[in-house]
Amino acid sequence: MRIIPAIDIIEGKCVRLTKGDYNTKKIYNENPLEVAKEFEAAGIEYLHVVDLDGAKASKIINYKVLEQIASNTNLKIDFGGGLKSDKDLEIAFNSGANQITGGSIAVKNSSVFNSWITKFGAEKIILGADFYPDKTGGKIATNGWQEESSLELLPFIDGYHKKGISYVICTDISKDGMLQGPSFNVYKDILTEVKNVKLIASGGISTFDELPKLKEIGCEGVIIGKAIYENKISLKQLENFIINK
């Protein structure tokens, strides 16, 4: 299972939100490159970068931060947040992204998202399945989590998997930034229903002990944000996990 720390960007700074609420913004570092280098020094190979300004603006904004991290580290970066056009994707890839994540666009303009799969290749495109939980599993959220769609989580993932998508980042918004543990049961349901999907767990990671459990149920990767920044999980623990996996 891949360990993928998160760097969320507002105005070029490394921040974290709680449940996607911009009013809860907490700045952890003015220099995202410094944070990325710390991750790389701990043996981490992957990085999840979210352009929160871009998510609000519906176009790529913080590509210079992406470029800076990609130019000065060997981290394999997936980049998301407000990507809506072929031009946005070209900027992201030219700035050093290995993969991009599309969430809102996959809900609101499936023809464009499907064209990306064809044009750039399924391995380059990650489906962002961010959801608000309900009794039937969850409803997909869009626009920086500011809006809730009518689409159900499982059919949404399954539909795009059938169209060639391999990688899916699935975030339980109710748990994001809460440090109360991830949605194990939801991830089990997805991995049972959608065979061979490369599921990346996101939201709620709070202790190191949760990582082996996510690996055991079959998650391909896990995104860790606030737990690192709040010292709930140390980089040393992650380094040992990577070495011993």
Positions marked catalytic: 8, 130
Three-state DSSP string of the chain: CEEEEEEEEECCEEEEEECCEEEEEEEEECCHHHHHHHHHHCCCCEEEEEEHHHHHHCCCCCHHHHHHHHHHCCCEEEEECCCCCHHHHHHHHHCCCCEEEECHHHHHCHHHHHHHHHHHCHHHEEEEEEEECCCCCCEEEECCCCEEEEEEHHHHHHHHHHCCCCEEEEEECCCCCCCCCCCHHHHHHHHHHCCCCEEEEECCCCCCCHHHHHHHHCCCEEEECHHHHCCCCCHHHHHHHHHHC
Q: What is the dihedral of CA 82, 101, 228, 173, to 10 degrees?
A: 70
Read off the tokens for 30: 């003015």
